[in-house]
Amino acid sequence: MAKRKTITKEDIFIKARLISEGVCLQDKLEDLPPELRGISVKDSELNLSENIEVPDKLDFSDTGKLMELSYLSRAQSSTNRFLGNTLILDKSDLKAPIYPNKHSRLDLSIEDETVSISDGGKELATGHFPKRFEWLDSKLSNGLPIVAALPAASAGIINLVFTLSCMNYNTNRGCRYCNLFANPISRKISMLPKETLREWSKYQAEAVKIAINAGWRGNIALSGGALAPAQRKEYLERLEIVINTLREAVGEGVMSELRLVYNHFPPENFADMEKWKEIGVDATSIDLEVMDSAYFAAICPGKNAYKPHEYWKKAQEVSVDIFGPLFNTTGCIVMGIEPMSTLIEGIDERLSKGIMPIPLVFYSAPGSAYWGFRAPTAEWLVEASEKIADSFMKHSPKFLARAMAKARRKRTPRQSTHLTVVFDEIQRRIQELRRK
């Protein structure tokens, strides 16, 4: 295993600037690598999903055609133009996102395979794009690209959905910064018929098997948008369809190497969590989004209408008892959309109970209600991240042994992503402790 590179405060600040300010792309569109061509467009050209010809009535009996429409809708929508564009900084190996911003002081230029980030002509960092997994270019048995069946795939996580739409988004009660289900197909679906989901799940499982045959191992995130009230009672059956179809495709041996994470709404009955465990779920990620209950009601009205903020927090606490603490019970937080004081206080309280929030930095997604709102400054991000790291270093020792015992059987990928600097700061401190 390659030795991890040393992370410095300067490295973290540069990454924070990339998240906050974006980059001005200096190369002509035709000179950019394929990974960046899709995002080097004018704002007025972003919403290309309207060009997709969506039938007035979808044929749920033709799963292949439905998948094709969904794929084309997602592929041409603005949602995907800002996802998956990751830069690895050479000096530290930190992962950072590439957000285009023609007004940014940070310039990005590319020469051969080296990316340079500069400010006013002074080079701040160099980096490179991660190698694309060859299996992502594979085709499914229905002739569609493998990514048609996978809403998201990375080295550590593959998302599998048991619903293609979000009732909250479709009724104008979606989280104000979210556009995951903004494409025309998702907007036309309230719920897939169960037979269609069975067929859809076969293609999802086929895609995962292709990845596994190429050596992939990691987290399977079981997710999807909010269910309509009439279908909520079916959620457990739909979850089982996805899990059992995957198990049939890859076999019990491989299934035991994968880590299944429930990433959806808390159940109406917490006893359901024991059922999740029985059918193969290993961990949960119940996303609180924000730490302040008033912000939760205002920014995530659909989630709040389902259950109030305190209920979501209670669900995380029950998960700690059933699945274990820290990386066995997580939940995403949108960092930079509420006051720092409530963010820090709330995360400290969660960590004190063994729950590990994953603070992803706010980004105003195209098509969302908050499109155009700016991300917090790099200075704000670094200060908040250092305070969150303080809480992690204070509380995590109480839970680490139990957390590791729960996760030892299966691979638990590092939590750090290109969308947060909190875990980079934690890793920097751990490196510092080891050097002493």
Mean pLDDT, rounded, for 148-168: 89
Percent of the chain at pLDDT > 70 equals 89
Q: How big is the CA angle at 170 (ends 166 and 171), to the nearest 5 degrees?
A: 120
Q: Are strands 219-223 and 259-262 parallel, antiparallel or unpaired?
A: parallel
Alpha-carbon gap, residue 39 to 50, rounded angstroms: 17
| Residue 42, pLDDT score | 36
Mean pLDDT, rounded, for 395-413: 77
Q: Using 50, 70 and 90 to split pLDDT, how confident is the model at 185?
A: confident
Please determine, for residue 254, whether its predicted confidence score (pLDDT) is greater than 70: yes
| Residue 389, pLDDT score | 97
**Integer distance in angstroms from the first to the last C-alpha of the chain?**
23
| Residue 31, pLDDT score | 59
Alpha-carbon gap, residue 329 to 304, rounded angstroms: 21
**Matching residue, tokens 């995951």:** 180
Alpha-carbon gap, residue 319 to 331, rounded angstroms: 11
Higher-scoring residue by pLDDT: 393, 33: 393
| Residue 112, pLDDT score | 80
Counting runs of H as helices and runs of E as strands, what totals does the chain give? 15, 12
Alpha-carbon gap, residue 99 to 102, rounded angstroms: 10
Over the chain, what is the mean pLDDT? Answer: 88
| Residue 299, pLDDT score | 96
| Residue 183, pLDDT score | 83
Domain boundaries of the chain, sorted by first residue: 288-436
Q: Using 50, 70 and 90 to split pLDDT, how confident is the model at 154?
A: confident
| Residue 41, pLDDT score | 38
Smallest CA-to-CA distance from 29 within 18, 19, 38 is with 38
Q: How many residues belong to the chain?
A: 436
Task: At 162, list the tokens.
Answer: 């048991």
| Torsion sign over Cα 227, 228, 229, 235 | negative
Mean pLDDT, rounded, for 277-295: 96
CB 366 within 8 A of CB 82: yes
Higher-scoring residue by pLDDT: 124, 109: 124
Mean pLDDT, rounded, for 315-327: 96
| Residue 134, pLDDT score | 86
Could you give the C-alpha distances from 175 to 43, 225, 304, in angstroms and in order?
Answer: 22, 11, 10
Mean pLDDT, rounded, for 305-310: 97
pTM beyond 0.95, yes or no? no
Please determine, for residue 324, whether its predicted confidence score (pLDDT) is greater than 80: yes
Please determine, for residue 238, whether its predicted confidence score (pLDDT) is greater than 80: yes
| Residue 74, pLDDT score | 74
Higher-scoring residue by pLDDT: 384, 68: 384
Alpha-carbon gap, residue 26 to 84, rounded angstroms: 20
Alpha-carbon gap, residue 101 to 279, rounded angstroms: 45
**SS3 of 124, please?**
strand
Mean pLDDT, rounded, for 113-133: 91
Mean pLDDT, rounded, for 353-363: 95
